[in-house]
């Protein structure tokens, strides 16, 4: 890849009925402002979104695949952490 290649950005879109932004993909752009325009053109062409976040991929700190076990295995057998033992009142949305 040439040195002049644009940096990579990750794109998050909030859908019309969505409550939170969801990662939809990535793109190249010269800066954040252009990344927002590019995201609009690449990821909301089909009327998906009402809000877009972009962030430089290099700014994301990710968990390592090597640490998968110690990170995630401990919660695999603790079913009591799910709020499934309670009756959820009808007027509580989005649980």
Partner 1 sequence: MINDEDENAYQSLAAAIGGEERWAFGTGFDDPLAGIDTTVPADLDAAALAEQCLALGDDALVMAQRLGLWCSNAPELEDEVAIANIALDLLGQARMVLTRAAQADPSVRPPSAPAHVPDEDALAYFRDPHEFRNVRLAALDPDGDFGVLIAQLCAFTEYRITRLDDAQASKDPVLSAIAIKGRIEATYHREYATGWLIRLGDGTDESRRRMVSALSIIWPYLPDFDREVFDAALSRASLEAPPQQPAPFVDERTPLIEEMQSLARAIPEATW
| Contacts to partner 1 by CB under 8 A | 6, 13, 15-18, 22-25, 27-30, 33-34, 37-38, 40-42, 45-49, 82, 84
Residue located via tokens 């990821």: 43
Rg (CA), the chain: 19
Closer to partner 1 by Cβ: residue 4 or 66: 4
- In the complex, what is the shortest distance from the CB of residue 71 to partner 1, in angstroms, rounded to a whole number? 17
First to last CA, the chain: 45
Structure tokens at 77: 């057998």
Q: Which residues contact 52 (CB under 8 A, 6 or more apart)?
A: 11, 12, 13, 14, 36, 39, 40, 43, 44
- In the complex, what is the shortest distance from the CB of residue 43 to partner 1, in angstroms, rounded to a whole number? 9
Closer to partner 1 by Cβ: residue 1 or 66: 1
Closer to partner 1 by Cβ: residue 4 or 59: 4
- In the complex, what is the shortest distance from the CB of residue 65 to partner 1, in angstroms, rounded to a whole number? 18
Structure tokens at 23: 């990662």
Closer to partner 1 by Cβ: residue 45 or 63: 45
């Amino acid at each position: 890849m040439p040195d002049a290649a644009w940096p990579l950005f990750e794109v998050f879109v909030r859908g019309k009925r969505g409550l939170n932004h969801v990662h939809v993909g990535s793109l190249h752009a010269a800066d954040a402002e252009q990344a927002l325009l590019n995201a609009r053109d690449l990821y909301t062409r089909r009327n998906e979104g009402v809000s877009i976040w972009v962030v430089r991929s290099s700014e994301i700190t990710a968990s390592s695949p090597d640490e998968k076990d110690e990170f995630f295995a401990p919660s695999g057998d603790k079913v009591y952490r799910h709020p499934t033992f309670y009756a959820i009142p009808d007027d509580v949305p989005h649980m």
